[in-house]
Amino acid sequence: MRSPEEFSDWYQDIVEKAGLADKRYPIKGMNVWTGYGWKAMRLIDNFIRDEFDNTGHDEVCFPLLIPQNEFQKEADHIKGFGAEVYWVTHAGENKLDIPLLLRPTSETAMYPIFSLWVRSHADLPLKTYQIVNVFRYETKQTRAFIRMREIHFFEAHTCHTDFEDAEAQIREDLEIMSRLAKRLCLPYVLCKRPDWDKFAGAYYTIGIDSLMPTGRTLQMGSIHQYRDNFSKPYNITYEDENGAHVNVHQTTYGMSERILGALISIHNDEKGIILPPDVAPIQIVIVPILSKVEPEKVTARCEELSETLKKSGYRVHLDKRDLRPGNKFYDWELRGVPIRIELGARDMQNGIVTVARRDTGERVQLKNEDLLNGISANMADVQGNLFAKANSSLQDSIHPIEELTNVQPGINVMGWCGTEDCGHVIEEKTEMAVLGEPVGAELSEKKCIVCGIPTMKTIYVARTY
């Protein structure tokens, strides 16, 4: 475990050193995505896109601005987001008749239009998603990728004939998350949030939490069952077989740039960050080891190697800067490039290259003829190893406890009667948050850790970001 202060300092520092974001933009909580960070984010976007395209979701793009009157239709939603919205009140010299707000999330932009798109059961399910930036006037301390006022955001919105079909969508969402987590090397826990912590307007919320090295959890995303809570005020109905107008049931699935924040926080060492190969803007860096012996030939061979690897589909960078190899190693290790190739004159003569793995620091020599297979195997090993290591660290941090005084950093598991009163007692006594009931956990009889009555409910409790 790392102390929150030490970790926070390290994190704030590495984000800039690794070239992921520039925090000097003159508005608090709004950073500049630099080339390297934006490329990593776009790779993550594309995996999300692939998953949602392959499950029959249509990518759409709704306007950023929402008229005040549309925003105010669902009462709980306003209560939840009202204090966080940015208001556009003027355009040019004119005061606007109806103030517009910057979307904090897109329910109230989309649902007036969904009410036009859905007519009959043949239009259902309606499955859409968009990847856009959202805006929340965050009052807590901001932190790159983790707590921002402009947030790179992913949101899927679906409409269904009934509650059961919406539930089936949520099961599909969970499968999608499971596949994404493997690619991103991001193990997580799923909890059904307690009622007092669900999304503003939701019937229930499933939180997707990762565990940070400080023992605190970070919500990377969430899946919401809305039932017909939004379709009633927004009048999203379809005509059923009998000609009756029925309100649709809706779900949403949201994730954000926090995925990148979690990746950096979880995969790192004293040298810097370690990017999973699927997310790395540069997967292989080639460092020529130049001496007086035929340096031009070595450079030429490195260029050839770079082309070969690019043709095999890797993202490759050949570092030709006029620096010592050691300095180059330092830079690329800091920035998390998963595989480094070193090549000097002697290696050329011997028909080999040296391959170094960022995750383990291991260096192996590969014969030229084995290079492509070797790189492919090493890349897969890095990917598998990063996931396995993070996952065992997560599993080791889940502690069943019997007494509230025994809570530890990480995730504490305990019995709970299900009442809000006992929930709040848990939160007050532990100074932690109730993440909720773990989804898919096996049920067994326990006692509520507060009131002692028998219960089948188990909850996860942790400090959170």
Q: Which of residues 129-188 bind its own copies (CB under 8 A)?
A: 133, 135, 137, 139, 150, 152
Triad 315, 319, 320: Cα angle to 5° = 140
64 binds its own copies (CB under 8 A): yes
87 binds its own copies (CB under 8 A): yes
Distance CA 339, CA 84 (A): 43
65 binds its own copies (CB under 8 A): yes
Shortest approach of its own copies to residue 38 CB, angstroms?
Answer: 5
Residue 336 near residue 343, CB atoms below 8 Å: no
86 binds its own copies (CB under 8 A): yes
Pairing of strands 339-344, 284-289: parallel
Interacting residue with its own copies among 1, 75, 79, 90 (CB under 8 A): 90
Shortest approach of its own copies to residue 323 CB, angstroms?
Answer: 12
Tell me 120's DSSP state.
Answer: B
Q: Which of residues 105-124 bind its own copies (CB under 8 A)?
A: 109, 112-113, 116-117
102 binds its own copies (CB under 8 A): yes
Interacting residue with its own copies among 6, 9, 58, 420 (CB under 8 A): 58
Residue 184 near residue 261, CB atoms below 8 Å: no
All residues at 6 or more sequence positions from 287 whose CB lies less than 8 Å from its CB, including other chains: 319, 325, 328, 329, 332, 340, 341, 342, 343
Shortest approach of its own copies to residue 79 CB, angstroms?
Answer: 13
Distance CA 220, CA 193 (A): 14
Of 43 and 379, which CB lies nearer to its own copies in the complex structure? Answer: 43
HEC profile of 206-268: EEEEEECCCCCEEEEEEEEEEECCCCCCCCCEEECCCCCEEECEEEEEEEECHHHHHHHHHCE
> Is residue 22 helix, strand or coil?
strand
Q: Which of residues 188-207 bind its own copies (CB under 8 A)?
A: none
> Is residue 454 helix, strand or coil?
strand
Distance CA 255, CA 257 (A): 7
Of 26 and 313, which CB lies nearer to its own copies in the complex structure? Answer: 26
Of 87 and 196, which CB lies nearer to its own copies in the complex structure? Answer: 87
- Here's the x/- map for its own copies, 23-52, by CB under 8 A: it reads as -xxxx--xxxxxx--xx--x----------
Give the interface with its own copies as residue ranges (CB under 8 A).
22, 24-27, 30-35, 38-39, 42, 58-65, 67, 70, 82-94, 100, 102, 109, 112-113, 116-117, 128, 133, 135, 137, 139, 150, 152
